[in-house]
Chain A
Amino acid sequence: MKYYFKLFAVCIFLAAPLQADQGAIVVREALVYSASSSASQQVGKIAAGTRVSVFGRKGGWKEVFYEQESIVGWVRSYQIREGSFAPAVEVETESDSRGFLAGLAAFSRKASGFFRSSNSTTSSSTATIGVRGLSEAEINAARPDYDEFKKMRQYASNNVRLVEFSQSGQLRVNNVKHLTANKKQGKSIGANGVNKK
């Protein structure tokens, strides 16, 4: 009964004019579960590249609807991407023009961007976080810029600023233990100290 209710809700949802803005794409093959847990029943599988609708999120899971096969269920959140799809990295050659509207143009990698670089000659586009650095040419050309470093230090925050910042952002401090990976046994030890897997 609950399942049919969801299907009904999906039909209404798809009929809504905002449909195009609510979509998501499966970026890697996803197993679909009946609940937000891999221990729940597997109800299907969705191939990478498939467009789905997203109902909501619970922890690291998102509830989706795959219209073509009428699959409703939960997939891991990292298996789908909402918003702009598969942006291609492009070398920016525009002149210095930082602009919000320009940042929203098409589905380029700047689709969600706000700021425009003033360095039109930069062409590095390595897709990493803390994985790889600037391009080799940039690094070879680099000479320490201590004036810029002094400027950077001037922007540093402090405890007085943090009070206003955390309050206006409604940020609440939580007590969370670190997760540590147990490489030898392929297990991770959770915040509660219990072995997983």
Chain B
Amino acid sequence: MNGNYRYSLMLVIGLWLGGMGSTSALDFGELVDLGNKLKKIVAEVPAEEEIRIGGNLISGLLGAAPLVKDQALQQYVNDVGYWVASRSSRSDLPWTFGVIDSNGINAFAAPGGYVVITLGLYNLLQNEAQLAGVLAHEIAHVVRKHHLIALQKSMRREFLTDLTIIAVDDRKKDRKLEKLVNAGVQLYATGLDRDDELDADLRGVVLAARAGYDPFALLDVLTTIDSINPAAEELTVMLNTHPPIDDRLSRLAEQMDGELDSFASGRTNPERFRHVALNP
């Protein structure tokens, strides 16, 4: 842990603890300021620690749904994801991707460069560009540290404490880490902030374009998903906590309009996508 990081941690913990009993006394400006400071702390979490947290989180997800037993499929998804991630500002992370055996239609990311996509979503895709678009969205979450920031918000003081006990007390650290993993896995049930999702959409399409894919393929995936009618109960949860797909589509299309047109002729590689499917 470098000195700057340690100092910042102490500063924020102090600020937070000091403010915990008197949150109502903070005005909006102070809250924004505090939020910015916390983001700064997350930005300074060492990559090594981020990777460790992410590995534990993704292990939790794999406990819920294991990998699909298909080496060719897993390697293909890793190649697509690694290629897209190599176009990001964090190409040095140990990017690892997986298809998990769940019929749910989802994709998840964890800090440190871990991304999984469900079999249900994979089976909805029609070409490599769509797969790249989905993975790019998740890669953007990792690059922007959305999960770390959300975890910090939900764990508050405890998360920060976790980071301060690195290599101090293994048993204590393990207990804290377990708590962190539980909170992290729960995060996958509740989702990220609406703005984080829209941010990942915007960043994701650019990453796909940088990697030589048709960036509009993500719009096609969202359109496909939007045409699915989930059970009312699930729709209620989604609408209560997350931006409707329709909203994402409108905003994304509007902001891409005229900006990425020249990349629309990017590769989609449907043949390679099908080939993997046909040769497990």
Contact = CB atoms under 8 A, between A and B. Distances in A.
B219 to A, nearest CB: 5
Contacts of A60: 216, 219, 253, 256-257, 260-261, 264
A112 B105 contact: no
Nearest to B91: A159
A15 interface: no
Contact of B107 (A129, A136, A170, A196): A129
Nearest to A150: B59
Dominant secondary structure at the A interface: loop
Interface in A90-149: 91-92, 98, 100, 103, 109-110, 112-115, 117-119, 122-136, 138-139, 141-146, 148-149
B102 A138 contact: yes
B224 interface: yes
A168 interface: yes
Nearest to B71: A155
Contact of A130 (B66, B86, B200): B200
Contacts of A36: 261
Q: Which of the listed residues B61, B68, B114, B274 has the most CB atoms from chain A within 10 Å of its own CB? A: B61
A8 B228 CA distance: 35
Contact of A134 (B188, B260, B264, B277): B188
A142 B191 CA distance: 17
Nearest to A137: B64
Contacts of B272: 168-169
Contacts of B71: 155
A42 interface: no
Contacts of B186: 139
A144 B227 contact: no
A113 B264 CA distance: 24
A180 B131 CA distance: 23
B199 A119 contact: no
Contacts of A58: 261, 264
B154 to A, nearest CB: 14
Interface residues of A, number: 90
Given A60-B264, A146-B59, A124 B103 contact: yes
B261 A118 contact: no
B45 interface: no
Interface stretch (B3-11, B35-43, B115-123, B158-166): B115-123
Contacts of B277: 100, 114-115
Given A112-B123, A162-B83, A179-B256, A119 B269 contact: no
B54 to A, nearest CB: 10
A117 B101 contact: yes
Nearest to A179: B202
A129 B137 contact: yes
A134 B61 CA distance: 9
Contacts of A146: 59
8 contacts: A100-B277, A100-B278, A109-B228, A113-B123, A117-B119, A122-B104, A133-B108, A148-B66
Interface of A: 27-28, 36-38, 57-60, 76-78, 80-81, 83, 85-89, 91-92, 98, 100, 103, 109-110, 112-115, 117-119, 122-136, 138-139, 141-146, 148-149, 151-153, 155-158, 161-162, 165-166, 168-181, 183, 188, 190-192, 196
Given A133-B188, A152-B58, 4 more contacts: A125-B105, A134-B106, A142-B64, A179-B255
